[in-house]
Amino acid sequence: MTQQGAVLQGYNNELVKCIEDLCMQREDLNKQIQQAEEERNKLQHEIQVLSEQLERVCENLAQKVASRNELDKILAETEAAYMKILDSSRTLLNVLKKEVGSLRHSPDLKPN
């Protein structure tokens, strides 16, 4: 019976060692889980900060695009008005040249 007691004691010792090893593995895994959770939380915070920055940049960009579009419209209208002025100036110049040419041929303005 003593031999059976010794065998049983051996089994018990091995079982205790296995349980201790499993507990150590669990502790290591628990530390890894905590590190992963901390990393996840850090990344989620960074994502939130970056998302807020992205939103501000997008809003700013939209305002700038709207301003540029308004400037484009004003510029196009101004250029069109300027082209009308140029056209009117050319027409006025042509009329004036024609009138001056007519006056030169007029007998009233010929030198004596």
- Convert the pLDDT of each residue in 40-87 to its tens digit: 999 999 999 999 999 999 999 999 999 999 999 999 999 999 999 999
Element (H, E) at 15: helix 2-105
C-alpha span between 6 and 13 (Å, rounded): 10
Residues 103, 109: contact at Cβ < 8 Å?
Answer: yes
37 — pLDDT class (breaks 50, 70, 90): very high
Which residues, in sequence order, are CB contacts of 109 under 8 Å at separation 6+? 103
33 — pLDDT class (breaks 50, 70, 90): very high
For residue 110, what pLDDT is reported?
A: 58
Which residues, in sequence order, are CB contacts of 54 under 8 Å at separation 6+? none
- pTM, full prediction: 0.59
For residue 104, what pLDDT is reported?
A: 81
**Is residue 111 scored above 60 in pLDDT?**
no
